[in-house]
Chains A and B, each alone.
Chain A
Amino acid sequence: MKKLSITTIGFLILSLALSVSAESRTWTSADGSKTFEGELRSYNPDSKQVEVITGGRRLTFSADVLSEADQTYLAEQEASKPMDPDAIEEALKASEVGALIAKTKLSKLDGSRFRRTELDVVPEYYFLYYSASW
């Protein structure tokens, strides 16, 4: 039996991972008259440009031509994206409490030791718990 090289195995694993992570869905036009299958590649909420791969072709169009359900899906996909750490820091610095937090070292228990960490969201509210063991 022919042996596969490590590179080939790596490529196969990567291909499988990509095919699993790409989510194909049925897209519907705004008036509901047309549908097509495709995988979302990108969505720009500012320009409303959507990029979808369908049948090996790349389609780019405005989200306005899609159904309300598809537009909700796009908005949810966008909202679920983790924020860029630099964008989080900038957003924190724009508020009084956020600015204090941004320049302060935060820690969190990781097993039995504290590890340095940072906020991965921009909160609207801060619940401050002042306490001590003594």
Chain B
Amino acid sequence: MERYKQELEGNTKVAFIHVSHDRSDDAAQTWAESEGFPWLTILPDDAERSGLFEYKTRNAVPHYLLVDAAGEMLANSSAAAFSKIAELTE
């Protein structure tokens, strides 16, 4: 979360979106509240039909992806994604 705040918050070129795999919206709510998540979230009830699961390259969580607006994969790990963003938006 610290890295998000330092490197992504306020960057209008990148939208950080948490696609929740929690069992229910209530479970996601409890977790988000306890951690104080600052980012945009797609709650479990909406996540399945969002179509964003199509971009996943593995089934385990947590899973981080960076895609461009056309859906092209640019990075598929947290470190690679942050590095790529720094390169693309410097």
Contacts and interface: CB of A to CB of B under 8 A. Distances in A.
B33 A109 contact: yes
Contact size range, B: 35 or more
Nearest to A98: B69
Contacts, number: 146
A122 to B, nearest CB: 8
Interface string B4-26: 00001000111111111111010
A114 B32 contact: yes
Nearest to B67: A126
Interface SS of A by simple majority: mixed
A134 interface: yes
A14 interface: no
Contacts of B89: 125
A134 B32 CA distance: 12
Interface of B: 8, 12-23, 25, 27-33, 36-43, 46, 49-53, 55-56, 61-71, 74, 81, 85, 88-89
